[in-house]
Amino acid sequence: MTQSTEQGTIWLTQDAYDKLKAELADLKGPVRQEVIARISAARDEGDLKENGGYHAAREEQGKVEGRIRQLEDMLDRAEVGETPADDGIVEPGMKVTYKFVGDDDDDAETFLLGAREIEDSVSGIKVYSPQSPLGSAIIGAKVGDTLSYEAPTGKMLEVVILDAKPYTG
């Protein structure tokens, strides 16, 4: 898989893409209709100023519509990834093992480099975005490379790439 140079592109597994499409369909269909029905029922109760059910339903509608926009944007920018080459070079779709310089190998951590939104669809592994400080620092690195990156706290951190294998589920 080739990494897109567009900054907004996000890498998704086919499974994650399918789950997000299903969630979007559910939100745009049954969930949206249920919220609209609750708003209508609450509106029929009369005075809207002190109608807690109406205000709760309107708030829920805002959340649903926000999630719909987020999913549509994500799916528009998605690059559904085929398994990358097993060449030891870090790219989206890779399961990466790293440690901080000076730590023992026992302190190594493993994560999937991909869209944070897929975290629920992959079990037992953290997901870091290619746009995260660590993710952006290690793209293109090879196993054995030592890299520095600036943490959100402003502190410079050094990591060693111990392994990079295609994520297969």
Domains of the chain: 10-80 (1.10.287.180), 94-166 (3.10.50.30)
Average pLDDT of the chain is 83
> Is pLDDT above 60 for 5?
no
* Chain centroid to CA 9: 12
In the prediction, which pLDDT does 16 show?
73
Residue type, 78: A
pTM: 0.58
Please write the tens of the pLDDT for every residue from 107-157. 899 988 877 666 666 667 888 888 889 999 999 999 999 999 998 899 999
Distance CA 168, CA 78 (A): 18
Edge to edge, the sheet with strand 109-113 lists 126-128, 109-113, 94-100, 156-166, 146-150
